[in-house]
Structure 1
């Protein structure tokens, strides 16, 4: 679908694109431009929320904003025009603010119109980078220094695209008051690291800021004395929505169901009434697992990554799937086939202000324990900051949900649509337990495994759950069974 059209020789329109996974609508959360503002190719003009995530939309041409067709908070269908741009303001050529030598700017006529069928590529989706500048976002303030410290701990995993190699860096003179030049991925990196681009010294050609410049600016920021250890599950690290305070005299409040929450409701209803759910439970002594977690925190090979019970539980599930690969499958209703997956994209359920999301770790089965820990840490940080992309939530095969962080023993989880199984982990509590013939206080938790009975029979489901429980009780099985 073409996302822009030329209504006349002067005005061009930008349509709401399909931002991924065949979505049909999105809500405009925030406009970053207003009528009269100058925009450039690649500049983010608004943030929208789809049924899966919040994403930023860059505009694919230069000009001056003529009209915003919808206010913030409006849900817009894919293909509807959301903004009109005057590409020939004042009857002349499209305006451009000369903040860098003209030689560094390609002529606007070099690409007068995007090829038919082209859609604007979203920030973080691997765009073919433009060499033009973009307007700095209005009202944007750098996050707290702690966010930069956490991002540094993850070694920049949240960066989204590599810049095109540039010639040997030369420091350019920056005109005071001018807008810093940087490509969309570099701007996103700076935002993630909490760096104000106005404070960064550019070394790229024509005074453009590179990724290396942003990293260099972030390096001197002192890390806090200690970074809090991540909780046992994503849900603990992600902000939970807080109910609005009741208004005196108002007995009810109605909240429109849209965006992520609407998608959750539809997906859960579809899953509950399509896949025949079966849930099995087991209570297990995890005292040895908790000792292993404590030891790994002191291990030099795990330095710089978060170590918590969720890491060992995730690894235990991956080993159980390796021993019982038939559980890692999907049901193809159209073709009446069982699709066996030879890879594991491990989903981690996360509670966010926009609702429940389930991003997944791609090819988790191939990761070492330090790599899995780093991937979990990145997933936590991205979900907490509301930056999880639709691609990160697509293609999951099995999921873990840690309801124990809310203090409950366990639950009966509903399958994520298209997946075969979901493991719920309850609270880890000190309880009286028979150990070596004597009643002793031990760390105990309850696991619940829900699975699609079309794909997984009782025997297979029981084997998977029993394997996970055995590994958590005797972590040495991670070595003997891996």
Structure 2
């Protein structure tokens, strides 16, 4: 008799409650071992590959690629005794305990999420696991003011019925439409909602032709007027974009922002950079102006530790941190992410340059780990790489300062009474006025500027 284990979506240690299934690495019938990567998920912060907690044979995949699943929901069913040689074991009960994935999350904790109405128990048989997952999803989509059993019937289809309309009784098959993974990917690329289609394949399976037909424009539709929705695209707000939006709104309307600006002649810094690039110690390292800005920021924090502190509203305290986990705002195909360099204040210029190069490359590939996305203490946003002079950056939540590093340009500058061409950039510092006073913010910005204008002053810190 099969001994089934249902693997729930784990807490990957980010404080998030849901994730999207990007793709499965296994299929029903495949054998899996402990810690074998079996699925890739995307949270609001990073793409993560999950290792399996069981050894056995895959019985059923309980979530589809592109589906968003809540933490604690079963996503795969595994027979841990495919040979039928081990004694039967009962399924673990649904005590609410959150299993911790190897290498992720808290070590001993219980789920604190609000219990859901009519949520299925974790111990379900292989034959009912899919129904349990669908029921949980339907419960989360229902309005809290209307009981699930009182859901109003769907409105009748217009006459004549559209070819993509769902036939009566389709809802009884569950909320997960029947379609193969390539068809699901095509639907996602074309923006087609599979739940709105009636499959023309055997057993109601949605085919590629069904998706292509649903995505094609109506042949007899009149030409739309300028500015109408025919020339618009609608993309669901989820993942990194959703998390970034929520964080920025929370930060902008919680912390009183103040932004100050400083224009700096960084010619000496650029000359030093050119000399160091040929130095044997810096061979094989991409020495960017951002590395100099990061080093200057870490040094300036020593004289103004308030910019590296956190306002703890709940505890009624200001938390001063004797370390710098330097966040670097990075633009990626998935949106804006802010991974951080741990203990950046203890690094040399070369170590910082190497760490920044590795961090940005990993972020652009979407492989930043959850640990690298949390715990930052102060941030740099390098708007100069886009040719932008400066801006008014919004604080990363939980931090008290963020520095915008602008483009370095050849500009006329007065030196010893003479107008000469120099390398000039603009800095902008936004800070939380609850923690950082104007005098402290100004001194910190001036210190960063002085270190970039004359790197030799670093020996005085």
Normalising by structure 2, we get a TM-score of: 0.69
- 1:55 aligned partner: 48
Length, aligned pairs only? 338
Q: Does 1:452 align with 2:452?
A: no
Moved more, 373-382 or 457-466: 373-382
Q: Distance in 1 between matches of 2:337 and 2:443?
A: 28
Asked whether the 8 Å contact 2:10–2:99 carries over to 1, the reply is no
1:119 matched to which residue of 2?
A: 100
In the other structure, the counterpart of 1:338 is 318
Contact 2:2 2:84 in 1 (8 A): no
Equivalent residue number for residue 359 of structure 2 = 379
Matching residue within 83, 92, 95 for 2:84: 92
* 1:26 equivalent among 19, 32, 35: 19
Question: Deviation at 1:28?
Answer: 0.5
The aligned counterpart of 1:139 is: none
Aligned to 2:10: 17
- Do the aligned partners of 2:33 and 2:55 also contact (CA within 8 Å) in 1? yes
Alpha-carbon distance in 1 for matches of 2:69, 2:18: 6
Contact 2:411 2:424 in 1 (8 A): yes
User: Is the 1:412–1:448 Cα contact (8 Å) retained in structure 2?
Assistant: yes
Which of 73, 76, 79 pairs up with 2:72? 79
Q: Distance in 2 between matches of 1:117 and 1:266?
A: 25
Distance 1:93 1:357 in 2: 49
Residue 57 of structure 2 is aligned with which of 51, 60, 64?
A: 64
Task: Give the corresponding residue for 1:441.
Answer: 421
User: Aligned partners of 1:72 and 1:122: how far apart in 2?
Assistant: 24
Q: Provide the C-alpha distance between the structure 2 equivalents of 1:93 and 1:369, rounded to a whole number of angstroms.
A: 60
Contact 1:403–1:427 (8 Å) recurs in 2: yes
Alignment of 1:24-423 (within 5 A): 24-89=17-82, 92-93=84-85, 118-122=99-103, 250-423=230-403
Deviations 1:316-352 (A, max 9, x none): 1111111212221000000111111111111111001
User: Is 2:439 aligned against 1:478?
Assistant: no
Q: Secondary structure at the match of 2:253?
A: helix
SS in 2 for 1:327: helix
Q: CA deviation at 1:9?
A: 5.3
* Partner SS, residue 455 of structure 2: coil
Show CA shifts across 1:118-149 (max 9, x none). 422258999xxxxxxxxxxxxxxxxxxxxxxx
Distance 1:304 1:123 in 2: 33
Q: Displaced runs of 4+ in structure 1, greater than 6 A? A: 123-126
Secondary structure (helix, strand or coil) at the match of 1:274 reads coil
Equivalent residues in 2 for 1:418-429, closer than 5 Å: 418-429=398-409
Q: Give the distance between the partners of 1:32 and 1:80, measured in 2 at CA.
A: 19
The unaligned stretches of length 5 or more in structure 1 are 1-7, 95-107, 127-246
Rg (Cα) greater in structure = 2
Question: Would the aligned equivalents of 2:11 and 2:98 in 1 still touch at CA under 8 Å?
Answer: no
Asked if 2 retains the 8 angstrom alpha-carbon contact of 1:58 and 1:122, the reply is no
How far apart are the structure 1 equivalents of 2:246 and 2:85? 48
| Whole-angstrom distance in 1 between the partners of 2:308 and 2:413 | 33
- Separation in structure 2 between the aligned mates of residue 269 and residue 372 of structure 1, nearest angstrom: 31
In structure 2, distance between residues paired with 1:303 and 1:385? 24
CA RMSD of aligned residues (A): 2.6
TM-score normalized by the length of structure 1 = 0.67
- In 2, distance between residues paired with 1:22 and 1:399? 21
Give the secondary structure class of the aligned counterpart of 1:344: coil
Query: Deviations along 1:233-291, whole A, 9 cap, x unmatched?
Result: xxxxxxxxxxxxxx997321111111111110000000000000000001111111111
- What is the distance in 1 between the residues matched to 2:35 and 2:391? 46
Shift of 1:382: 1.5
Distance in 2 (alpha carbons) for counterparts of 1:118 and 1:414: 36
- Distance in 1 separating the partners of 2:348 and 2:410: 30
Secondary structure in structure 2 of the residue aligned to 1:26: strand
Deviation sequence 1:36-79 (CA, Å, 0-9, x none): 11111111110001111111111111111111111101110000
- Rounded Cα–Cα distance in structure 2 between residues aligned with 1:63 and 1:385: 32
**Does the Cα contact within 8 Å between 1:57 and 1:123 map onto a contact in 2?**
no
Q: Distance in 2 between matches of 1:75 and 1:53?
A: 14
Alpha-carbon shift at residue 441 of structure 1 (Å): 0.9
Give the Cα–Cα distance (whole angstroms) in 1 for the partners of residues 98 and 270 of structure 2: 54
CA distance in 1, matches of 2:353, 2:274: 14
Distance in 2, matches of 1:321 and 1:11, equals 55
